[in-house]
Amino acid sequence: MISLAENKERIALLTSGGDASGMNAAIRAVTRYSIYNNYEVIGFYEGYKGLINNNFDILNLNSVSGIIDRGGTILYSARSEEFKTEDGQKKAIENLKKNNVEKLIVIGGDGTFRGAHDLHKKGIKAIGIPATIDNDIAGTDYSIGFDTALNVIIDIMSKIRDTASSHDRLFVIEVMGRQSGVIAVNAGVASAADYILIPEVDFDLVKIANEIRNHRKGKRHTLVIVAEGVGKANDIASSIKLLAGHEVRVSVLGHIQRGGSPSAMDRILAARLGQKAVDALMDGKSDAMVGYQGKEIKIIDFEYIFKYKRKIDKNLYDLAFILSL
């Protein structure tokens, strides 16, 4: 076991759930701001799995050097079913206590915060930093990784549009979002998609196919964005082809959406949320997330986050159709 410096309070840090670009920028911010405030930082690997296996390293200024522009997470991520059990959480608590850790910052999504909530109930001061490309967490306008994912998608959409308009083609593009159409709506507006199919809003494939068959909005390209929660892009493409009698190409973007160097916005968000998370712990706060609201960084109880889910912006969704006419 690595010996820890005496006389210093410790803050543990982990990343968990789906990786999101900008997690590294958050790790850097938490580590450097904690050290600046005279704390020692312990980074646990692979989320809650690392807590159970006592797999960690001390993070110093050098450990987080040169990572601000890297996607993924240097602390790695994992999904741990064992951590959801009483036994798993007991092991995690034992390891935290053994290493003199009473304060923890978790970077991840809703599931990650539920884990942190359990640890809080068992005596650990726990604060969450929202990082998920889905941007589906209530209480924060943006989660780390969302802006980068959107930029990746619109870049690909431009490339698809080039080939689509050259060949007079119709494309169905599947983006992430099993339960939420937030990515699809925002990417659709930003890339001028013709149709946006999301789980939250019913759509009429026959009507869409009729429009495509009759005039295709007068364009040589038609771009249909589909959130994965709506169904398989290939099945939707087959239905449109059958109903509209028009050749359809499919592009499933998949994990490409998670990767890449974080956008400026995600890096700045990570810096500000990281700082606030450390401040919150220093103020004795726990069982809460730091979130971006308007122009302010606020502390929002986990209780609120578990109660509410972020909804799509219906006005933005409607505007997408008006602007794509």
- Report, as residue numbers or ranges, the catalytic residues: 134
* Minimum distance of ligand ATP from residue 48's CB (angstroms): 4
Q: What is the dihedral of CA 159, 160, 166, 172, to 10 degrees?
A: -170
Neighbours of 215 (CB within 10 A): 9
Which two structure tokens, joined as six digits, stand for 13? 């840090």
Q: Among residues 22, 108, 274, 291, which is the contact residue for ligand ATP, using CB under 6 A? A: 108
Contacts by residues 41-44 (CB-CB < 8 Å, ≥ 24 positions apart) = 41/10, 41/11, 41/12, 41/13, 42/4, 42/10, 42/11, 42/12, 42/13, 42/99, 42/101, 43/12, 43/13, 43/14, 43/74, 43/75, 44/12, 44/13, 44/14, 44/75
Neighbours of 90 (CB within 10 A): 12
Q: Residue 48, interface with ligand ATP (CB under 6 A)?
A: yes
Q: What is the dihedral of CA 243, 163, 160, 72, to 10 degrees?
A: 140
Within 8 A by CB and 6+ apart from 323, the residues are 189, 192
The interface with ligand ATP within residues 16-45 (CB under 6 A) comprises 16-18
* Minimum distance of ligand ATP from residue 325's CB (angstroms): 34
Total residues binding ligand ATP (CB under 6 A): 19
Residue 110 vs 194, nearer CB to ligand ATP: 110
* Minimum distance of ligand ATP from residue 18's CB (angstroms): 3
Q: What are phi and psi of 175, to 5 degrees?
A: -115, 170
Q: Among residues 43, 50, 109, 274, which is the contact residue for ligand ATP, using CB under 6 A? A: 109
* Stretch of 12-20, 22-30, 60-68, 263-271 lying at the interface with ligand ATP (CB under 6 A): 12-20
Instruction: Sketch the per residue contact string, 130 through 169, with ligand ATP: x for CB under 6 A, - otherwise.
Output: --x-x-----------------------------------
Instruction: Sketch the per residue contact string, 64 through 83, with ligand ATP: x for CB under 6 A, - otherwise.
Output: ---------------xx--x
Q: Residue 180, interface with ligand ATP (CB under 6 A)?
A: no
* Minimum distance of ligand ATP from residue 309's CB (angstroms): 12
* Stretch of 103-111, 159-167, 177-185, 195-203 lying at the interface with ligand ATP (CB under 6 A): 103-111
What CA–CA distance (Å, rounded) separates 175 from 183? 7
Length of the chain: 325
* Stretch of 13-21, 220-228, 243-251, 267-275 lying at the interface with ligand ATP (CB under 6 A): 13-21
Q: Which residues would be at the binding site for ligand ATP (CB under 6 A)?
A: 16-18, 47-48, 79-80, 83-84, 108-112, 114-115, 118, 132, 134
